[in-house]
Amino acid sequence: MPTGVKIAATPEQLAGVKYDASGLVPAIAQDVRTKDVLMVAWMNAETLQMTLDEGRMVYWSRSRQEIWRKGDTSGDHQDVREGYYDCDADVLLFKVHQHGKGACHTGERTCFYRRFGS
């Protein structure tokens, strides 16, 4: 069973992350093995730090306005393997090992299970 990788981000990297007016930054979770995009959710500075420290994806739930340690209720948690930030430092990308049945609350493996077109 793979475990999460704790990441020691530098103070410069952490200070460089750009949050929106609500103090949030979008974070993409990508399956480290299949490279499928699993989901996109939001982090604030606190849950980004928790994610890096714990090696496990911790989001900020906008609907519940609370820390969302992915999988605590569902079991479908996500171990961190690598973390990236984009050229503007306003989007994060984590390669993860997805536990359980998948990332999506619908039971699908990825949240992007619906395709435009008929």
Closer CB to its own copies, 67 or 111, in the complex: 111
Closest CA relative to residue 4, chosen from 56, 52, 43, 47: 56
Q: How far is the CB of 1 from its own copies (least distance, A)?
A: 23
CB of 76 to its own copies, least distance (A): 13
Got the DSSP string for 50-77? HHHHHTB-EEEETTTTEEEETTTTTS--
Residues of this chain that interact with its own copies (CB under 8 A) are: 7-10, 13, 26, 28, 30, 34-37, 39-40, 52, 82-88, 91, 93, 104-106, 108, 111-118
> Could you tell me the two tokens for 43?
């982090």
